[in-house]
A and B are shown apart, each in its own frame.
Chain A
Amino acid sequence: MIRFENLHKSYITGSNKLHVLKGINLEIKEGELISIMGSSGSGKSTLLNITGILDNYDEGSYYLDNMLISNMSEKKAAMLRNKYIGFVFQSFNLISFKNALENVALPLYYQKVSRKKRNLIAMEYLEKMGLKEWAHHMPNELSGGQKQRVAIARSLITRPKVILADEPTGALDTSTSYEVMEIFKEINQSGITVIIVTHEDDIAHRTNKIIRLRDGLIESINGELVNPEFVETEISEHV
């Protein structure tokens, strides 16, 4: 579903060049439930942005559903995001002046689905999230968990191939976090690839595969070291 080959990315700020991704090689198969971990600055957000076609990369290649994603117009990128990817964010990112239903229906608006039809579909997804009664509430009338469930409904409404979740439980308490993770599991069981970026171990352990990033490289997958160069430091840290 997703394949990175020797992916490089640098940010240039003024005269400084910050090399963030230093050659990522990774394959994520369809239907996987994966977490990406790493300290801040490890490159995990950058990797997520590139995966979500929100950012471009400098070197290497990125295949999404066997399609090379590279140097495309903003319009094309927007179209692909809409079709293939559902986003879930730490701060929910609901549009404050739209009610739950309208928020969920928004991605279909950009697919030119008629108003009536998309509201019908949105209601269906809200019902799946147990939020039918809250459909006409504004985001500020919802709890954190409810907001995140609205956001998840929004990410699912276009029937994407991949869900990208950036710290989806970062703003939630533990029990709500676990509820949200259960939802992700269910989604995953319906065949959708789910990638969760997190720095919480207990959240990561509820996924099937944990990928650790460090200094722009993959350090380990499910605890197995991938890049030999980290062996030394790994040992020295443990000593």
Chain B
Amino acid sequence: MSKLKLVNMFDIDKWQEIFNTIKKNKLRTFLTGFSVAWGIFMLIILLGSGNGLQNGVEYQFRDDATNSIWLYPGTTSKSYKGLQANRRIKFTNQDFDNLPHKITAIKDMTARFYIPGKVNVSYKNDYGAFSVRCVHPAHQVIENTHIIEGRYINEKDLNEFRKVAVIGKNVKEGLYKDENPIGKYIRINNIEFKVVGVFTDSGGEEEMRNIYLPISTAQKIFNGQNRINQIMLIPKTENVEETKAMAQKIKKYMAKKHKFDVTDDNAIFIRNNLEEYQNVMMMFLGIDIFIWVIGIGTIIAGIVGVSNIMMIVVKERTKEIGIRKALGASPSSIMGLVILESVAITSFSGYIGMVLGVGLMELVSSLAGNSVFFRNPQASIGIAVAATILLVFSGIVAGLFPARRAAKIRPIVALRDE
């Protein structure tokens, strides 16, 4: 029963007393509250910034399958077996076809071929600056492309050298307005392709300005012969170490095939997205831990401040507490009073700090807009809930020692007349 009374927050008399003591010591309460508000404010700012940074970077990764490996040809920087340095490496269809035979752990694979020179895209009299990627069907998985109308490039398109195109949502909006583009023709460098699909991409506006063509058709039409600009693949594994081993194996194979030194870092470039993703996420984990350590440290400083002030409050109110005890106040009711006051000060000022912090983050968010590196820096509901629990808990911790001291005050000491 007494325990129940201790936590009875809705006792109007207790609140009245807390309000009274706060009213009596405005400056002191303000200064105490300020330290807590500052602590929470800093924590929110730090967490929000960390989140913003992380959201920004995660957003960049969101465009593509996170466990893909990309290969680009480069220029050799070392001479090898009688061949000079500064030799350009070129990828061909042969590389693309042979790779799966040598590296068995490939799940999906595509090449990219870019139309050389300037690309003109038009429909009827409308022109637009769009880019064209000539790919294999697996490109859809690797690039996280979502078809909203029609279909993506398929094997049949490649085998039959069909002149078909899949266009991004922005291309559709730019050229077709309200028309349904499916079945219509789109002109790319004055060659007509039949639109078979429209897609969206979580990679953002720029990604949706792309047009995809079957690579085999494009190589033929745009004089690409058997040249490809890039190979992208998804391994069967999602284990970082295994993908690293696989990337190394691919490099070895390519070195043998294209006759370059396997230790030559400029001959071909291999980007292991999973490895990079993991590295970045590890870095953010580190940043997160760092932020929490600093934030918690700031809050602890606030708690110590509140605790200190409550100690003084208890000391100042020694006589009053003595009177209450003489009149029949139990130790638990005195403890409840002190702890509730501490919780009230910490929670209230903490919330002010939180509101200010969230407000500032919202402001920064609206000013920064969708900048790439700082995205949606808000503190989430989860953080707000966690902060509330943290505040109440902090208040209790801050009030605990002063409350125990208050409960130990003996009425005879308190009532002694000076």
Contact = CB atoms under 8 A, between A and B. Distances in A.
B277 to A, nearest CB: 60
B367 to A, nearest CB: 46
A7 to B, nearest CB: 16
A158 B410 CA distance: 22
Interface residues of A, number: 32
Interface of A: 49, 52, 54-55, 74-75, 78-79, 81-83, 87, 89-91, 93, 95-98, 106-107, 109-112, 115, 154, 158, 166-167, 170
B189 interface: no
A87 B23 CA distance: 28
Interface string B393-418: 00000000000000100111001010
Given A54-B411, A90-B417, A106 B324 contact: yes
A154 B13 CA distance: 17
Contacts of A158: 328
Interface residues of B, number: 27
A158 B12 CA distance: 21
Contact of B21 (A54, A97, A115): A97
B147 interface: no
Dominant secondary structure at the B interface: helix
Contacts of A82: 327-328
Interface stretch (B32-40, B281-289, B329-337): B329-337
B163 interface: no
A111 B330 CA distance: 10
Nearest to A155: B327
Interface in B1-39: 2, 5, 12-13, 20-21, 23-24
B323 A93 contact: yes
Interface of B: 2, 5, 12-13, 20-21, 23-24, 319-320, 323-333, 407, 410-412, 415, 417
A110 B415 contact: no
B330 A81 contact: no
25 contacts: A54-B411, A54-B412, A54-B415, A55-B412, A74-B331, A75-B330, A75-B331, A78-B325, A78-B329, A79-B328, A81-B325, A81-B326, A89-B415, A89-B417, A90-B417, A91-B417, A95-B320, A95-B324, A97-B21, A97-B23, A109-B13, A110-B328, A111-B328, A158-B328, A167-B417
Closest 3 interchain pairs by CB? A82-B328, A110-B328, A97-B20
Given A82-B327, A87-B326, A87-B327, 5 more contacts: A54-B411, A81-B326, A89-B415, A97-B21, A97-B24
